[in-house]
A and B are shown apart, each in its own frame.
Chain A
Amino acid sequence: DTGVSQNPRHKITKRGQNVTFRCDPISEHNRLYWYRQTLGQGPEFLTYFQNEAQLEKSRLLSDRFSAERPKGSFSTLEIQRTEQGDSAMYLCASSLDPGWADTQYFGPGTRLTVL
């Protein structure tokens, strides 16, 4: 399978715990994006990387959130001291830049439930 993969697919945690999600982009894609989607809403942009450089962060990305992309390959998104409001689907996408098509390809997402 050469698509975007995300692990785990589901995560249930207690409030106050730390969680980490992983995203493996399509192998030749140099851009990687993180989005968050709550029920009934469209995805909201969190942050993105070009290779290993984190180029943009949304205001939604509080200090409790941190993302890394070491070596410009896979990426991790960590949420510290989780809150119930963090419950959502976390989506990862990748794309190839520069590219006329510039389509973002999405993974299946990680569904986080904070109890």
Chain B
Amino acid sequence: KQEVTQIPAALSVPEGENLVLNCSFTDSAIYNLQWFRQDPGKGLTSLLLIQSSQREQTSGRLNASLDKSSGRSTLYIAASQPGDSATYLCAVRPLGGGGADGLTFGKGTHLIIQP
């Protein structure tokens, strides 16, 4: 059974710092990995999706990397801003047929950027 772990569980840093969020998964047979952001009481917003054949994806101040063989992904946030405060979730989609397409999520990293 796939398990996804996110470290740290919570992080509080001053505005302007660069930071790294970590995600690890136990089964490397994945189709893709997706990073989401969730604001309190809200749904999820997709940030970046990395296919299993890719090594990284970038969007603005965000960069996500994937090392499938070691079961790790990182989300790098540059020049953090108070508006980046949210919970960041990592999710993997399994590889395989038969419709096994449900994402497996980690518990998230709760990020607070202090003004």
Contacts and interface: CB of A to CB of B under 8 A. Distances in A.
A108 B43 contact: yes
A7 to B, nearest CB: 13
Contacts of B107: 40-42
Contacts, number: 67
A43 interface: yes
B64 interface: no
Interface size of A as a range: 20 to 34
B44 A56 contact: no
Contacts of B99: 48, 50, 55-56
Nearest to B44: A106
A48 B99 CA distance: 9
Interface size of B as a range: 20 to 34
Name, among B31, B51, B105, B106, the residue most crowded by chain A CB atoms within 10 Å (CB to CB): B105
A41 B32 CA distance: 21
Nearest to B106: A42
Given A42-B107, A45-B102, A56-B101, A102 B32 contact: yes
Nearest to B46: A103
A21 interface: no
B44 A101 contact: no
B21 interface: no
Interface of A: 4, 6, 31, 33, 35, 40-48, 50, 55-56, 58, 91, 93, 100-109, 111
